[in-house]
Structure 1
Amino acid sequence: MLSQKNIDIIKSTAPILETHGVAITTYFYKTMFEAHPELLNIFNHANQSQGRQQTALANTVYAAAKYIDQLEVLLPAVKQIAHKHRSLAIKPEHYPIVGEYLLKAIKGVLGDAATDEVIGAWEEAYHVIAQVFINVEKEMYEEAEQQKNGWKDFKEFYIEKKVEESAVITSFYLKAKDGTPAPSYLPGQYITIRTAIPGEEFLVNRQYSLSQAPGSDKLRISVKREADRDPQGKVSNFLHNQLKEGDTLEVSAPAGDFYLEKGPQPVALIAGGVGVTPMMAMLGSIAENEPDRKTVFIQAARNKEGHAFGIEAAEKISQLSDGKLYVAYEEKKNESDVCDVTGYISKDFLQEVIDSNSICYICGPVPFMRAVMRHLTELGFTEQNVKYEFFGPAIALQS
């Protein structure tokens, strides 16, 4: 239990952390990775180079300072992060390492402002917050292991089949090497794959959404080849270009707090680019379990070449008594390309096609999600009726 004195000290540092948070977390990652390079490949290098990981952690540290006396306010964010930690096999022994380098970063960036009293208060606060994570994650590890066909940490799967879904997205069907069926999961959740890549000293981890409804004897992930950005996607290119059917990967049990909720309310699934992957699991689940549920499926792609799952999505929609499918292309390469929207999805379009009582699920690139969120907010959708998933560290969608 934190003393009132230390609570007051922590809360007094919140404005400083809001200003210097990214500098602190940048310092933190640099020094921690220098001392513990074995932790580097747990993280996505592109997110590190783009600063998303640093920004996400800075936001978390700032929120912890602001609500240190109301930690229950942080519980939804804690659970979201804890899902990712469990999927990556983060364990209690990692927390002292993080704490050591986070305190060093606060001291290194703030200098004289980080007095012994301030550092002492943050050390005590960190132990309290870390224990919250450890307790939540312990329950998640037990749940993953105890569920039917579940397991602890990682398990070997092999690639049964590779299927090209578009010019940039390929699906990988994964089956357990021990012959056991795939575990159940909630449509929208993800797994972590762990693999060795030539030239990398340590195993590399990446998280990918499960892209088909639960209930199969195999797991399906659908991976976009990240070849048009710097740095390129190290793992996605390795999966596309080098792994073949029969090759083995280590896989975590499914995790994640973004998933389809059953119920009578209409649902709108709004996907941009590779953000379609969790939506395919949701759409498949609706087709199998709730075929009378009013459903709108909106898929945005750069162009026809980048449009994945077109036939599969149409088949699933055809199984619904009240389902509608809409496709948006940012550009048409040929006049013969058929879509419902050319350019960006507008507020007027969303108002026209989505029932105002719908629960909306959104996944895609950050600019896409930010625009859709703005439109839905302006149309009167509440926070409770809009759910979204980040591929990577969470950042603010609205200011």
Structure 2
Amino acid sequence: MLSPKSTEIVRATLPAVGGAIGEITPRFYDRLFAAHPQLRRDLFNRGNQASGAQQQALAGAIAAFATALVEHPDVRPDAMLARIAHKHASLGVSREQYPVVQEHLFAAIAEVLGEAVTPEVAAAWDEVYWLMANALIALEARLYERAGALHGATWRSYRVLARHRETADVVTFVVRPCEGRPVPAARPGQYVSVQVTLPDGARQIRQYSLSGHPEDALQFSVKRVAGDPAGEVSNHLHDHVAVDDTLLVSHPFGDVALDDGDGPLLLVSAGIGCTPMTAMLSHLAATGSTRRVVAVHADRSEATHAFRAELSQLTGKLPDASAHVWYEHPEGPWPAERTGRADLTRLDVPAGATAYLCGPLPFLRAARAQLLEAGVAAADIHYEVFGPDLWLGAEG
């Protein structure tokens, strides 16, 4: 809980800090990388830095956390903190890195706001930072303990057992720990981080959702990212990683995972967002679940729909499951009511359903709004987004 004095100072200065946060975060990263260039090379996603997505995500998290402290002083925003903690744990972030971030973040704040940052203002925002940092450190420590990865040592060597092409731009990798290590436990919906060494020597890291339920192995699927900047790691994995190669893979993490209840489920995805949903369906089928399941997927066409056959097969194995697919540009005969963008208002949404969403942010916003309109409780709608979470703290 923020102290009363700091609460008043933060409330008074939040508009100024919030208004400048878009300028503060780029300067913070410039300072951080100038002092510690290895962080840009080996920890942070260079593509997200180039696009500005990482800066936007950090700005949103800081503003959301500070706002929560002053508007709801007795409630810690645990959902937001859990999401960040899982991502940090998958990267191997350590508690020793938090003072480094504080140093360069506060230097950037002082540089942008100048004389407005009095000693009292600096002390109040320092309290905000350490409330957030210490909460994350504690959450991450528990995640590392459960994973058996002391002090952030989450990386293990895995051998590639198989690779399967799902579509022209999606490849699935099946991997097993080297040296006879046991396969770590994973919950359906979680992801792993994968680290590769690129031609310039950078060791870049990306997260990929687990996309299946293989025996004694982990399975993740990678979509090739085109454009400018193109996906450094996705292209490297597609072009250079073969069966019997070795990859560095983290323990599975992720706060959006299938619950163990018996209530109805809505699994809603678009594009490569089908990967965690495929893992959830695979788990439900493997465990003989009798839950009612409504699976929804939206894609450009049949050719771009990864795990198209698995969606039909897995829902067919469940006694009370249905699949509903929309294609924007179907390649053959396709129902008109399932052509275009997914429209969840056309579905019979079961009462008391828990929803899991994964896909691009515009899709998530539209799907969530339609589910709320259909009566699904906000607390029962969980989402996963690939890359920096620009929605963090903003979904209400």
Choose 304-313 or 92-101, whichever is displaced more.
Answer: 304-313
* Uncovered stretches (5+) of structure 2, i.e. residues with no partner: none
The structure 2 residue matched to 1:126, chosen from 115, 129, 133, is 129
Residue of structure 2 equivalent to 1:261: 259
Deviation at 1:12, TM superposition (A): 2.1
Q: Distance in 1 between matches of 2:15 and 2:229?
A: 33
Deviation at 1:341, TM superposition (A): 1.2
Residue of structure 2 equivalent to 1:180: 181
- Judge conservation of contact 1:13–1:65 (CA < 8 Å) in 2: no
Residue of structure 1 equivalent to 2:93: 90
Residue of structure 2 equivalent to 1:66: 67
Deviation at 1:356, TM superposition (A): 3.6
The structure 2 residue matched to 1:375, chosen from 370, 374, 380, is 370
**Cα-to-partner distance string for 1:144-168 (whole Å, 9 max, x where unaligned):** 1079xxx942000011111001121
- Judge conservation of contact 1:327–1:340 (CA < 8 Å) in 2: no
Query: Does 1:13 pair with 2:10?
Result: no
* Uncovered stretches (5+) of structure 1, i.e. residues with no partner: none
The structure 1 residue matched to 2:119, chosen from 116, 120, 139, is 116
Residue of structure 2 equivalent to 1:388: 383
Taking structure 1 as reference, are residues 71 and 203 closer, same or farther at Cα in structure 2, changes over 3 Å only?
farther
Q: Distance in 1 between matches of 2:315 and 2:134?
A: 45
Query: Does 1:168 pair with 2:165?
Result: no
After superposition, residues 33-112 of structure 1 pair within 5 angstroms as 33-40=33-40, 41-68=42-69, 70=73, 72-112=75-115
Q: What SS does the aligned partner of 1:304 have?
A: coil
Q: Distance in 2 between matches of 1:172 and 1:187?
A: 17
Deviation at 1:354, TM superposition (A): 2.9
Q: What SS does the aligned partner of 2:148 have?
A: helix
Q: Name the amino acid aligned to 1:375.
A: Q
- Judge conservation of contact 2:296–2:323 (CA < 8 Å) in 1: yes
Taking structure 1 as reference, are residues 2 and 360 closer, same or farther at Cα in structure 2, changes over 3 Å only?
closer
The structure 1 residue matched to 2:343, chosen from 343, 346, 350, is 346
Q: Distance in 2 between matches of 1:58 and 1:21?
A: 6
Identity %: 37
Q: What SS does the aligned partner of 2:229 have?
A: coil
Taking structure 1 as reference, are residues 339 and 306 closer, same or farther at Cα in structure 2, changes over 3 Å only?
farther
Deviation at 1:338, TM superposition (A): 7.5
**Cα-to-partner distance string for 1:361-386 (whole Å, 9 max, x where unaligned):** 11001111111112112222221221
Q: Distance in 1 between matches of 2:242 and 2:333?
A: 34
Give the paired residue count: 390
Deviation at 1:249, TM superposition (A): 1.0
- Judge conservation of contact 1:182–1:216 (CA < 8 Å) in 2: no
Q: Distance in 2 between matches of 1:340 and 1:309?
A: 22
Q: Name the amino acid aligned to 1:117.
A: E
TM-score normalized with structure 1 length: 0.92
**Cα-to-partner distance string for 1:174-198 (whole Å, 9 max, x where unaligned):** 1111123311111000111112111
Taking structure 1 as reference, are residues 339 and 298 closer, same or farther at Cα in structure 2, changes over 3 Å only?
farther
Q: Distance in 2 between matches of 1:138 and 1:388?
A: 24
Deviation at 1:220, TM superposition (A): 0.4
Q: Distance in 1 between matches of 2:389 and 2:292?
A: 30
Taking structure 1 as reference, are residues 224 and 175 closer, same or farther at Cα in structure 2, changes over 3 Å only?
same
- Judge conservation of contact 1:193–1:249 (CA < 8 Å) in 2: yes
Q: Distance in 2 between matches of 1:5 and 1:16?
A: 18
Q: Distance in 2 between matches of 1:395 and 1:68?
A: 20
Q: What SS does the aligned partner of 2:86 have?
A: helix
**Cα-to-partner distance string for 1:305-359 (whole Å, 9 max, x where unaligned):** 1011111221111111111112211112x3346897111012432xx34324321
Q: What SS does the aligned partner of 1:191 have?
A: strand
Q: Distance in 2 between matches of 1:33 and 1:123?
A: 21
Taking structure 1 as reference, are residues 30 and 71 closer, same or farther at Cα in structure 2, changes over 3 Å only?
farther
Q: Distance in 2 between matches of 1:94 and 1:287?
A: 42
Deviation at 1:109, TM superposition (A): 1.3
What root-mean-square deviation, in Å, do the aligned CA atoms of Structure 1 and Structure 2 show? 2.2
**Cα-to-partner distance string for 1:42-72 (whole Å, 9 max, x where unaligned):** 2223322333222221122123322346374
- Judge conservation of contact 1:10–1:68 (CA < 8 Å) in 2: no
Q: Name the amino acid aligned to 2:54.
A: Q
**Cα-to-partner distance string for 1:64-104 (whole Å, 9 max, x where unaligned):** 32234637422221111111111100001111110001101
Taking structure 1 as reference, are residues 220 and 6 closer, same or farther at Cα in structure 2, changes over 3 Å only?
same
Q: Distance in 2 between matches of 1:161 and 1:186?
A: 21
Q: Distance in 1 between matches of 2:174 and 2:354?
A: 30
Taking structure 1 as reference, are residues 244 and 146 closer, same or farther at Cα in structure 2, changes over 3 Å only?
closer
Q: Name the amino acid aligned to 1:66.
A: T
- Judge conservation of contact 2:210–2:276 (CA < 8 Å) in 1: yes
TM-score normalized with structure 2 length: 0.92
Q: What SS does the aligned partner of 1:78 have?
A: helix
**Cα-to-partner distance string for 1:245-279 (whole Å, 9 max, x where unaligned):** 11111111111110111222111111100000110
